Amino acid sequence: MVTYENGSEPADYLRCFESDTFGCYPCAPADVREAFMESIKVFENNLPDLWRKGFRIWIVPQSTKVTDMPGCSGAGSECNDDRYRGLYLWNRRENRKLALIKEKDLKQRRNALKHEIGHAIWHLLLTNSDRGYLKKVYKREKRENPDRNRDYRMSNPGEFFADSLAYYHTFHTEPKVIEVREYVVEPFIFGTNAVHIREVMKEGSLEPTKKTLESLNPEMLSYLEEKERKGWKWR
Ligand SMILES: [Zn+2]
């Protein structure tokens, strides 16, 4: 059990998250610890608020199913599928806000945990007016770029925000190649003109990722830049 003390610095909360997460997975390999710390470090200024609001992060070990994690049997068996890298859960009865991240994805996709933390920020730190503004930005984006609407990030305003935030942070912290999830529409004639959607992983470098974010949505980029200028204070 990790306790918070008054007057603690943001860096102390890094240690709170670290000891809580690895208290649940003490035999985690060193590269998993390294990827975890690297991902949460970029949110250092947000960690005190997230911690105080009851947000915690659990790693799902490679040999464990999401639904076998303590208290997560109701998550839905589709979450065990490889397509899910992680998820954000709010157990209202226990008032527990939890990001689950799969060990493999934590190591291989450096923006996977950042994306789940983005969901926590959306739910716990953004104000109604922030969310209202971002919903408008999302709707405009959908209208103006209908060809991108099948992207996972365009599923809903929360995914749009979480993905944008993850890419934003990944650009700043990782001058390496990452994978970008894209959907490819294949013409598929089956009696009528149906289309079959195939999901592929495409490699892209970080520079184009930021350009993509910018060209897809300059308003989202300005919003995130403004928050960063204010030290990521959401309210
Ligand atoms: Zn998501």
Say yes or no: 79 and 162 in one domain.
Answer: no
DSSP 193: E
Cα(83) to centroid(ligand 1), Å? 11
Are 22 and 113 within one domain? yes
**Domain assignment of residue 2, yes or no:** no
**Mean predicted confidence (pLDDT) in 82-98:** 86
Per the structure, how many domains does the chain have? 2
Q: What is the pLDDT of residues 152-168, one digit of tens each?
A: 888 999 999 998 888 88
Residue 86 clears pLDDT 50, i.e. is over it: yes
**Ligand 1 centre distance from Cα of residue 18 (Å):** 22
Please tell me which residue, 207 or 78, carries the higher pLDDT value: 78
Two structure tokens written together for 228: 């960063």
> How close is the Cα of 174 to the center of ligand 1, in Å?
20
Rounded Cα gap, residues 50 and 42, in angstroms: 13
Determine the Cα–Cα distance for residues 29 and 232; give it in Å rounded to an integer.
31
216 or 202: which carries more pLDDT confidence?
216
151 Cα: distance to centroid of ligand 1 (angstroms) = 12
- Please give the mean pLDDT across all residues of the chain: 80
**At 102, is the pLDDT very low, low, confident or very high (cuts 50, 70, 90)?**
very high
Quote the CA–CA distance of 169 and 167 in Å, as a whole number.
5
Exposure class string for 80-102: b at 16+ Cβ within 10 A, else e: eeeebbbbbbeeeeeeebbbbbb
Give 111 Cα–ligand 1 centroid separation in angstroms. Answer: 11
Residue 132 and residue 72 share a domain = no
Angle between helices 128-144 and 157-173 (to 10 degrees): 90
Tell me whether residue 3 is in a domain.
Answer: no
Please give the distance, rounded to the nearest whole angstrom, from the Cα atom of residue 159 to the centre of ligand 1. Answer: 5
119 lies in the same domain as 143:
no
Which of 86, 107, 124 is the last residue in one of the domains?
124
Q: Is residue 93 over pLDDT 80?
A: no
- Helices marked H in the chain: 10-24, 30-41, 47-52, 103-108, 112-124, 128-144, 157-173, 206-216, 218-229
Domain assignment of residue 89, given as a range: 10-124
End residue of a domain, out of 124, 148, 164: 124
> Which residues have C-beta under 5 Å from ligand 1, the single-atom ion?
159, 162
Q: In what order do the strands lie in the sheet with 86-91?
A: 55-60, 96-102, 86-91
* C-alpha 6 – ligand 1 centre gap (Å): 32
pLDDT in tens, 1-50: 455 555 678 788 999 999 999 999 999 999 999 999 989 998 999 999 99
Measure 22 CA to ligand 1 centroid, in angstroms.
23
pLDDT-derived band at 136, boundaries 50, 70, 90: very high
